[in-house]
Copies of this chain bind each other. A is one copy, B any other.
Amino acid sequence: MDERQALAAFAALSQDTRLKIIRLLVTAGPEGMASGAIADAAGVSASNVSFHLKELAQAGLATTRREARSIIYVADYAALSGLIAFLMRDCCQGHPEVCTPAITALSECGCTAAMEPA
């Protein structure tokens, strides 16, 4: 993830409805959600959700696949962790006080099970 992509991702996440949508997609998992279901869950119109989903897809944070009449949106986990990595890489240069609290946050989600001591 370069600066250009990070900028696009930050812009995509800086909007109320889109942040809501990303959270929906992330919790929905790899199966994703149909556009209509997202619109219902987010409480916005079909055309409005379509507008925001397009933004998220263009920012690389979501991918799509068609399934019958529905179009399914899936969170791009690699892009999200890439953004996290970008923030960290940028923030840690000689200042571990930035990342150390993040380690605590990490351990809250059970993902540290696979970790090895440094």
B-chain residues with CB within 8 Å of residue A84 when the two chains form the complex: 84, 87-88, 91, 99, 102, 105
**Interface of chain A, main secondary structure:** helix
Checking B19, B27, B85, B93 against A93 with a beta-carbon cut-off of 8 angstroms, the contacting residue is B27
Judge if A68 is at the interface, Cβ distance under 8 Å.
Answer: no
Residues of A bordering B, CB below 8 Å = 3, 6-7, 10-11, 13-16, 19, 22-23, 26-27, 29-30, 75, 77-78, 80-85, 87-118
Give me the 4 closest cross-chain CB pairs, A-B, nearest first.
Answer: A85-B105, A92-B109, A99-B111, A10-B14
Q: Is A26 within 8 A of B80, CB to CB?
A: no
A and B contact pairs by CB, cutoff 8 A, 12 listed: A7-B14, A11-B14, A75-B91, A81-B99, A84-B102, A89-B105, A89-B109, A92-B110, A93-B109, A99-B111, A103-B111, A107-B118
Bound together, the chains give a CA A48 to CA B26 distance in angstroms of: 37
Q: Interface centre among A75, A84, A108, by most B CB within 10 Å?
A: A84
